[in-house]
């Protein structure tokens, strides 16, 4: 199969197939007569795995490590469990940060609802933001 056939079969773009080929997660054979990449059913199965992994939040580097373990006939399952637990913790942290951001935005809208507009005066750029930020505890990680 050629790039476009693989892409069509899996519902991805040809660029997606080419990307994973370029970074050598997929390793199709090159047809000696026309230099086109020829993908096998095994390549298609690898790409299915890659697409499913990406949908679960695995990085390309994670996927390479998982495939390497499988290629060494070692179960990648413990690695997969560890990575997904780590990703879940990261996602939960990001989710909590977004909830806090939403709360700050909601508070800003409520505070600014009846505040008149003002021109910058050399000490302030936008008095609404600066007056709102005065009440916040600044966190170096935000």
For 78-128, write each residue's pLDDT tens digit: 999 999 999 999 999 999 999 999 999 999 999 888 888 888 888 888 888
Task: State pTM to two decimals.
Answer: 0.71
Q: How far apart are CA 4 and CA 15, in angstroms?
A: 9
Task: Find, among 61, 62, 55, the residue nearest to 81 by Cα.
Answer: 62
The domain segmentation of the chain, as residue ranges, is 3-74, 80-133
pLDDT digits (tens, 9 = 90+) for 33-45: 998 899 999 999 9
CATH number of 3-74: 1.10.1660.10
Q: Using alpha carbons, select from 41, 42, 55 the residue that is nearest to residue 12.
A: 55
3-class SS string, 6-68:
HHHHHCCCHHHHHHHHHCCCCCCEECCCCCCEECCHHHHHHHHHHHHHHHCCCCHHHHHHHHH
When pLDDT is cut at 50, 70 and 90, the band that residue 140 belongs to is: very low
């Amino acid at each position: 199969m050629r790039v476009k056939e693989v892409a069509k079969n899996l519902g991805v773009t040809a660029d997606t197939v080419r990307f994973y080929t370029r970074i050598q997660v997929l390793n199709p054979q090159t047809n000696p007569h026309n230099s086109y990449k020829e993908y096998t059913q095994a390549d298609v199965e690898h790409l299915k795995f890659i697409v499913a992994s990406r949908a679960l939040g695995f990085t390309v580097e994670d996927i390479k490590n998982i495939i390497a373990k499988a290629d060494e006939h070692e179960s990648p399952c413990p690695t997969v469990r560890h990575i997904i637990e780590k990703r879940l913790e990261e996602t939960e942290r990001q989710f909590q940060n977004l909830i806090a951001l939403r709360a700050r935005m909601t508070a800003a809208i409520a505070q600014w609802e009846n505040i008149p507009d003002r021109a910058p005066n050399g000490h302030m750029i936008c008095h609404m933001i600066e007056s709102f930020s005065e009440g916040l505890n600044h966190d170096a990680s935000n």
